[in-house]
Amino acid sequence: MKPKYPLFSEVVLLQDIPTHNLKRGSVAIVVEQYAATEQQQYGYSLEGFNVPNVTVEVDESQVTSTEQWQKEMEILEKLHRLSVVKLVHLESYIEKLLNEELTDLPKVS
């Protein structure tokens, strides 16, 4: 398994990192990659948070690509415009899609 984010790629934090006063949605650059952990995730060192001399270490699950982040933000904006009835229908449809994703995963032997 190779790292999801190559060196010098731009990523977005998916959660706050209070120790460095960084917020979800902060953008950074991958400056180092680490071998997979027990959870089969890669680790990354990130820099460039508009905070000088700060390097933050994160697991792969704590970041996403800027493209993915932007797409998710566009979807969220659309969700805010839906009625409650449509949101209930959408939630049901999303559950169906997630179940399909689980059944489409390759079997591990």
Domain boundary assignment for the chain: 10-67
Which tens digit of pLDDT belongs to each residue from 28-50? Answer: 999 999 887 666 788 999 998 87
Which tens digit of pLDDT belongs to each residue from 12-31? Answer: 999 999 988 899 999 999 99
pLDDT bucket at 103, cuts 50 / 70 / 90: confident
Spell out the residues 6+ positions from residue 17 whose beta carbon is closer than 8 angstroms to its own: 56, 58
C-beta of residue 28 within 8 angstroms of C-beta of residue 58: no
- How many whole angstroms separate alpha carbon 64 and alpha carbon 1? 17
Q: What is the DSSP letter of 18?
A: G
pLDDT over 80 (residue 66): yes
Q: How far is CA 49 from CA 3, 20, 21, 23, 33, in A?
A: 21, 10, 10, 10, 17
pTM, rounded to two decimals: 0.74
